[in-house]
């Protein structure tokens, strides 16, 4: 098995200001599959082609933003090992019992200096994509409902201590740095990290406030589908931030927009395949404008100021 340790982003738990409106949005506009609600009032969703039970949870709260971001690891042994390694690093960890999150095993949770809660788990129920595991069809009716991304792909989180986040993800959890934005004095302003062949599994921006969500991102197969997503957004009066355009950073063809509660989300296609032995690509801060929007080469003011 080539991908070991942390396998992929597993779930994002997002706060919405109105749950029913949030459910309608995530199910019918973004086009995730509705996986039901638990007794705590968290509503569960998965992207149509994901196989594990859920990848997005929303809950009603009086402030928007992100509660936690979780990663699936390859085994219980790995989970135990990361728990020990995090503690040795000096991070306090907490075990959340199996079943606290529906169809999900025990989770090891910790908080970054940035204020973000990150968790690891080894087990989540495989429900498949409705096609079974023998001679599956290439797509399902859900693949055409709403924007209908293939998967929840990554998140960009913001806070003050970028360096600790980088250190933990690289030196404890085994991620590698794919791309970075660096200020003239050498300070890192943004980092894009991978635990796989994807150009990012998680990314961080340096920001004056902690625990902020920049966006949760959803993957589409093609640029055509990104344009279809733009149509669906406008048809549903979804506020769009940037795009459709292409990022210089990671090369994704993208749209940034906001859910009904002001949480930014991204729908994107493309990027490239990265490997752990690749050298990090660097964007000096003066090139952030085209790093962000390669077509327009402009630093959209909202990129560094609007968070939930």
Partner 1 sequence: METLKGNITSVMTEEAYEYVKITIAETGESFDCSTNESVLEGMRRLGKRGIPVGCRSGGCSVCKCQVVKGEYHQHRPMSTEYISKQELEENCVLTCCIKPKDNLEVKVIGKMHKNICEK
Which residues lie near partner 1 (CB under 8 A)?
17-18, 24-25, 28-29, 62-65, 145-146, 232, 235-236, 239, 241, 258-264, 301-302, 305-308
Nearer to partner 1, 175 or 265 (CB): 265
Nearer to Fe ion, 52 or 266 (CB): 266
* Strand ranges of the sheet holding 93-96, from the earlier edge strand across to the other edge: 33-37, 43-46, 56-60, 6-16, 65-73, 117-121, 107-111, 93-96
Exactly one of 142, 207, 256, 290 is catalytic; name it: 256
Short-list 190, 193, 181, 187, CA closest to 286: 181
194 binds Fe ion (CB under 5 A): no
305 class by beta-carbon count within 10 Å (0-12 exposed, 13-18 middle, 19+ buried): exposed
Exactly one of 53, 154, 207, 214 is catalytic; name it: 154
- Give backbone dihedrals phi and psi of 228, rounded to 5 degrees, phi first: -60, -40
CA angle centred on 116, ends 112 and 118, rounded to 5°: 80
Q: Among Fe ion, partner 1, none, what does residue 114 contact (CB within 5–8 Å per kind)?
A: none
Q: Is 176 a catalytic residue?
A: no
Per the rule left: phi > 0, alpha: psi between -120 and 50, beta: everything else, 288 is alpha
Nearer to partner 1, 29 or 57 (CB): 29
Q: Among partner 1, Fe ion, none, what does residue 236 contact (CB within 5–8 Å per kind)?
A: partner 1
Element housing 193 (H / E) = strand 188-194
Q: Among partner 1, Fe ion, none, what does residue 266 contact (CB within 5–8 Å per kind)?
A: Fe ion
Q: Cβ-closest residue to Fe ion?
A: 217
Residue in the structure block whose two tokens are 């996986």: 35
Q: Is 135 a catalytic residue?
A: no
217 binds Fe ion (CB under 5 A): yes
Short-list 280, 36, 266, CA closest to 153: 266
Mark the segment that binds Fe ion (CB under 5 A) among 64-72, 230-238, 259-267, 278-286: 259-267
Give CA 237 to chain center in angstroms. 23
Residue 308 Cβ vs Fe ion, minimum distance, rounded to whole Å: 15
Instruction: Judge whether 293 and 286 are in contact, CB under 8 Å.
Output: no
Q: Is 154 a catalytic residue?
A: yes
Q: Among partner 1, Fe ion, none, what does residue 146 contact (CB within 5–8 Å per kind)?
A: partner 1
- Which residues form the catalytic set? 154, 200, 215, 247, 256, 266
Binding site for Fe ion (CB under 5 A): 217, 266
């Amino acid at each position: 098995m080539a991908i070991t340790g942390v396998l992929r982003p597993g779930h994002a738990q997002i706060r919405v200001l109105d749950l029913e409106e949030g459910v309608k949005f995530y199910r019918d506009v973004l086009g995730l599959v509705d996986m039901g609600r638990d007794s705590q009032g968290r509503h569960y969703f998965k992207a149509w082609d994901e196989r594990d039970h859920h990848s997005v949870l929303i809950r009603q709260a009086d402030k928007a933003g992100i509660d936690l971001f979780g990663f699936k690891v390859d085994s219980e042994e790995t989970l135990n090992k990361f728990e020990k390694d995090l503690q040795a690093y000096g991070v306090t960890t907490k075990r959340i019992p199996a079943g606290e999150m529906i169809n999900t095993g025990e989770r090891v949770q910790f908080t970054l200096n940035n204020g973000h809660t990150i968790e690891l788990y080894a087990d989540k129920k495989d429900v498949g994509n409705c096609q079974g595991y023998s001679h599956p069809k290439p797509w399902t009716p859900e693949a055409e409902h709403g924007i209908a991304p293939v998967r929840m792909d990554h998140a960009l989180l913001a806070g003050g201590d970028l360096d600790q986040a980088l250190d933990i993800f690289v030196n404890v959890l085994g991620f590698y740095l794919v791309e970075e934005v660096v200020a003239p004095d050498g300070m890192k302003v943004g980092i894009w990290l991978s635990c796989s062949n994807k150009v990012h599994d998680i990314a961080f921006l340096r920001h004056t406030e902690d625990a902020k969500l920049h966006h949760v991102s959803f993957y589409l197969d093609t640029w055509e589908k990104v344009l279809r997503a733009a149509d669906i957004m406008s048809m549903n009066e979804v506020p769009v931030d940037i795009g459709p355009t292409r990022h210089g950073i990671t090369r994704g063809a993208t749209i940034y927009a906001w859910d009904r509660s002001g949480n930014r989300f991204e729908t994107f296609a493309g990027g490239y395949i990265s490997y752990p032995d690749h050298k990090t690509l660097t964007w000096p801060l003066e090139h952030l404008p085209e790093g962000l929007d390669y077509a327009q080469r402009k630093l959209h003011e909202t990129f560094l100021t609007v968070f939930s």
